[in-house]
């Protein structure tokens, strides 16, 4: 029996297995494609769609190796997959992200009537280690910002960029997504497009407005005149069109292109390494998100309520903002331990 072959000369069992594999792959492609269509209709960010796609392709490969189609996946296979990730050294945050992608996939399948229950809903999210965000003191933030000179175009840009990051509590992605017309000079506020394409308006402090005006008046015009790589040989009309597309971005690179988040992180590392007040203690660990954390913590220190901070940060839920009360509690405990005679 083991030597039986079909009419093509292939082992009969091998041909059947190959066909089953192809059907599984097709089923997973269709399920993932359906979710991607749903995300496009919901106007989900491209970054979210891309991340979900990568995570779900990995799960589809694993499930296919187990002989499971989307309709055959229950809570137990999902738990096994999360355990598989842990065994391979995945951080809890990584496993939690991949589980969120699976919940979205099976939610889509349920909404379209392919399944009756979402198996990923019955799987607990891996617990992430409790870690307080890095927060700079007001003195350290001042040293960082004041340590950026106002000389050339790139220095003026960096001063404006990090003044805005701290003054408005912006994520790196929000910084690089700013357009020129997002600045409201009369109202001294900024229109910010946050996660989930949600728009919010954030007040801008006077030091940040001054730095922004200097950049726009003295630095940005110089950056817009610099051709990006590959433009030098283009015809004048097409070159102008390309520049028009990129010149509505607020923050530009030395070649005149819009900045990316990696540029923001790199420039912040450059300046923190040069500022003596924070270089030894925190220079290597200061990120754009640390400025956002410092913004929220300093507001809380100054008496702002959590709901207001939630709105300014663009958090969907106040539970995300409550981490800053833990920062405050940690500071109080530290002060108690230092100061109380019987601590």
By three-state DSSP, how is residue 38 classified? helix
Gap between the Cα atoms of 205 and 203, Å rounded: 7
The CA distance from 202 to 210, in Å, is 16
Tokens of 94: 């990584």
Neighbours of 169 (CB within 10 A): 23
Whether 315 is a known active-site residue: answer yes
Q: Please, where are the H alpha helices in the chain?
A: 12-41, 46-65, 75-87, 92-111, 138-146, 153-168, 172-177, 206-214, 220-224, 236-246, 261-274, 276-279, 288-301, 306-313, 318-321, 323-339
* The pair of three-digit structure tokens given for residue 227, joined into one six-digit string: 């051709």
Contact criterion met (CB below 8 Å) for 283 and 272: yes
Q: Which of 49, 110, 289, 331 is catalytic?
A: 289
> 54: how many CB neighbours lie within 10 A of its CB?
11
**Environment class of 67 (CB within 10 Å of its CB; exposed 0-12, middle 13-18, buried 19+):** exposed
Query: Whats the size of the chain, residue-wise?
Result: 343
From 98, 171, 220, 247, the catalytic residue: 171
Question: Is the distance from CB of 84 to CB of 62 less than 8 angstroms?
Answer: yes
Catalytic residue among 98, 159, 247, 315: 315
φ, ψ dihedrals at 211, nearest 5°: -65, -35
Catalytic position from the list 134, 195, 243, 265: 195
**Among this protein's residues, is 289 annotated catalytic?**
yes
Q: Are 148 and 291 in contact (CB under 8 A)?
A: no
CB atoms within 10 A of CB 278: 22
Give the sign of the dihedral formed by CA 327, CA 330, CA 336, CA 338: negative
Nearest-angstrom CA–CA distance, 286 and 270: 10
One of 98, 159, 220, 292 is an active-site residue; which one?
292
The one catalytic residue among 52, 81, 215, 324: 324
Catalytic residues: 171, 195, 289, 292, 315, 324
């Amino acid at each position: 029996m083991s030597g039986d072959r079909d009419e093509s000369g292939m082992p009969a069992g091998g041909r059947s297995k190959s066909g089953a594999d192809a059907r599984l792959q097709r089923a997973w492609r269709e399920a993932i494609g359906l979710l991607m269509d749903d995300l496009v209709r919901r106007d989900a960010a491209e970054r979210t769609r891309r991340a979900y796609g990568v995570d779900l392709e990995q799960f589809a490969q694993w499930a296919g190796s187990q002989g499971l189609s989307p309709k055959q996946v229950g809570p137990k296979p999902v738990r096994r997959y999360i355990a598989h990730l842990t065994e391979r050294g995945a951080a809890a945050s990584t496993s939690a992200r991949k589980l969120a992608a699976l919940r979205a996939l099976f939610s889509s399948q349920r909404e379209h009537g392919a399944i009756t229950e979402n198996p990923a809903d019955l799987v607990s999210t891996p617990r992430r280690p409790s870690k307080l965000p890095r927060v700079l003191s007001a003195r350290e933030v001042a040293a960082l910002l004041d340590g950026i000179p106002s000389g050339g175009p790139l220095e003026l840009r960096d001063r404006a960029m990090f003044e805005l990051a701290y003054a408005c509590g912006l994520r790196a992605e929000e910084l690089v997504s700013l357009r020129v017309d997002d600045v409201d000079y009369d109202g001294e506020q900024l229109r910010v497009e946050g996660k989930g394409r949600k728009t919010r308006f954030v007040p801008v402090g006077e030091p940040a407005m001054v730095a922004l005006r200097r950049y726009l008046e003295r630095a940005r015009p110089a950056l817009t005149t610099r051709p990006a790589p590959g433009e030098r040989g283009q015809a004048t009309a097409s070159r102008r069109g390309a520049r028009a597309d990129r010149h509505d971005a607020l923050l530009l690179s030395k070649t005149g292109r819009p900045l990316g988040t990696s540029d923001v992180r790199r420039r912040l590392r450059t300046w923190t390494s040069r500022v003596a007040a924070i270089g030894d203690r925190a220079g290597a660990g200061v990120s754009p998100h640390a400025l956002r954390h410092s913004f929220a913590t300093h507001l809380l220190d100054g008496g702002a309520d959590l709901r207001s901070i939630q709105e300014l940060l663009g958090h969907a839920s106040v539970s995300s903002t409550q981490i800053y009360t833990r920062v405050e509690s940690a500071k109080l405990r530290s002060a108690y331990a230092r100061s109380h005679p019987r601590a």
